[in-house]
Structures are given as C-alpha cells and as structure tokens.
Amino acid sequence: MRASPAATAAPTATPRISPSPSPARAPGENPILGYRITLPGTYRLSRSTIVPGSGGLLGSDAYTFATEAEERAECLEDRGDIPSPSDAASLLVTAYRNVGGVPPVERARSRPWNIHRAAEPAMIDGNPAAKLVRPGETEATPVPSRPPREAAAETARSLAAKDADAVARLITPGCWLGFGATVGGVNTGGAVNRAVASFIPALRERFASNDLAVNVDPTLQVDARGGGFFVRSEWIESDRTTPLDLWLNETDGAWRWTGAMHDYDRLGPGGCIPYRSPWITPAPGSCSP
C-alpha cells in the first residue's frame, strides 16, 4: 500500500493464519472468562480471544469437533455466507464484563434470547450467577490495555505501507478476512470470507507487477454499530479505482485489520459484483466491469 506522510513502521509480530493452539487448561473452563461447562467428549478448544480494556465484551472461546488437520484445510479455502459443517456444529462461549453492576439474574432475564427460559439466582464458586437451562456467566477481572483509539490509530497508519508482508503482520490472526460490497451506496447484503493464506500472496503479486496501488487515509472513522473503527482507502488499477473501508477490531490484545467493504458505482456485466484479485481467486468467466 502506498505510504502516507503519517505512516509508521509495521510491528514485527508474525500473523497467525491458522487456528490458535489450545491453551494448557482443562476443557470447558476458562478462569479469565469466568466459566466452567461440561462438554461432549468430541469437542475441543479451537481458539480463545481476550478483549482488553473496560468495555462490555471480555472475550470468547470457540469449541469444535473438527480435528486440527481439518481446520487447517478449511483455512486455505475462501468461504461465503453458508457455514461449513464444522461451523454449523461449533460452540461459542462469550463473556461480558458487568460494566453497570447489574445482578447476573437481572441481566439474564433482560437478554432477548432468554425470553423462554427461567432465570433464577445462583452461586458459582462464591460468585453471583444466574441459573438457566445451561450455566450462566460469572464475573471476571478486566485486563488493562492502551486506549483503544490510540492503538487502532497506530494500526491504521501502518496499513498505509505498500508492503504485503507488513500488511500480513496487521491482519486478523484468524483464517479469513471478511468483506462485502455496496453498489451505488446500497449494501448488497452478501459477504465473502477470503482465506488469508491466499489473500497475502495475491496482494504481494499485484504489488510486484505494479498493476495495483493502494492509498490509505489513516484518519480513524468510528464504526456506528459499535465495537471498532475503520479507515478509508482507494484501490487503484489501470481501468478503475475502488473505494474500500478497512475495518479494524481488537483481537487478542491488538488492533487488527479484520474486514473490508467495497464501494462500487455499478454492477459488472450480467449484474455480478466486480471483485478482483487479491479479493478473489481469478477464474474463467470472472465478473469485471
């Protein structure tokens, strides 16, 4: 990506583009997130995420029945809106901080997805909890972090480097980079998950051939939906310039580039969305404007 005056050197951390290794702890429990559940023997911990700071979301654990080899294979494939069989059967445990000091039972009763479940006061290891069909969440200690805006701004400035390897160090540690599109300012409603393992080599190839330039404005824009920021960019090719919003979110204690939204002024021939490499793997009959 073309460097702007505000660009800084990218961090030296190596991205994780495959599932995170399972932490050394008993299956079905996490003392930081404050839960303990009984899991079927076929499930294993796939990844664990902690969100530092003082906001509501504390973190989450994802469990799957897929083997590590099966997950690695899935990481190499682009994916659409339809989940894979392992995703459809996965289990996600998410923990939130009790920012407002609301008793757990009241919080459980206020959740719309608990409307058909009875919530009763309970105690877990001496902590107030709510008893539902399955165990409720307990409290956890917030983890301090840098101010979110400051940390996200540093990531935004580093994304301005025209260097695929530098971008790789800033990208989501997960397997996929999510992206969607608007046409004439209207969201198409579709989304694609681009395999990071394919995106980075394709981006490196486009930069090396000098047929793609990217300008990034490192000025942070606030995500109106909450939970992150985004920066504006332009992806410049010989026959067109495509505006993209690059989405930033906090993952594992660092602000990462996690997704993008393309903004096209029109659809391609036949009414298709004109994605191009590195966002898709070129194929015969690919859509183009």
Long-range Cβ contacts of 11-16 (<8 Å, 24+ apart)? 11/158, 11/169, 11/170, 11/254, 12/169, 13/169, 13/254, 14/169, 15/168, 15/169, 15/170, 15/171, 15/172, 15/173, 15/196, 16/173, 16/174
Task: Read off the pLDDT of residues 14-36 as tens digits, 9 standing for 90 and up.
Answer: 333 334 444 456 778 888 888 88
Task: Write the CATH number for 167.
Answer: 3.10.450.50
Q: Identify whether 278 is part of a domain.
A: no
Q: Identify whether 201 is part of a domain.
A: yes
Judge if 125 and 174 occupy the same domain. no
Number of domains in the chain: 2
Q: Identify whether 280 is part of a domain.
A: no
Please state whether beta strands 254-264 and 176-183 pair in parallel, antiparallel, or not at all (unpaired): parallel
Judge if 112 and 163 occupy the same domain. no
The set of residues, in sequence order, having a beta carbon less than 8 Å from that of 238 and lying 6+ positions away, is 211
Judge if 154 and 228 occupy the same domain. yes
pLDDT attached to residue 241: 92
Model-level pTM?
Answer: 0.58
Judge if 156 and 259 occupy the same domain. yes
The answer to whether 252 and 50 have CB atoms below 8 angstroms apart is yes
Task: Read off the pLDDT of residues 92-144 as tens digits, 9 standing for 90 and up.
Answer: 888 888 877 888 888 777 766 565 567 778 877 777 887 764 433 333 444 44
For the beta sheet containing 44-50, the strands, ordered from the edge strand earlier in sequence to the opposite edge, are: 44-50, 57-64, 91-96
Judge if 87 and 163 occupy the same domain. no
What is the average pLDDT value for the chain, to the nearest integer? Answer: 75
Q: Identify whether 138 is part of a domain.
A: no
pLDDT attached to residue 139: 38
Domain end position, chosen among 82, 99, 131: 131
Instruction: Name the residue range of residue 70's domain.
Output: 29-131
Judge if 153 and 114 occupy the same domain. no
Judge if 111 and 157 occupy the same domain. no
Q: Identify whether 23 is part of a domain.
A: no
Judge if 90 and 162 occupy the same domain. no
Q: Identify whether 60 is part of a domain.
A: yes
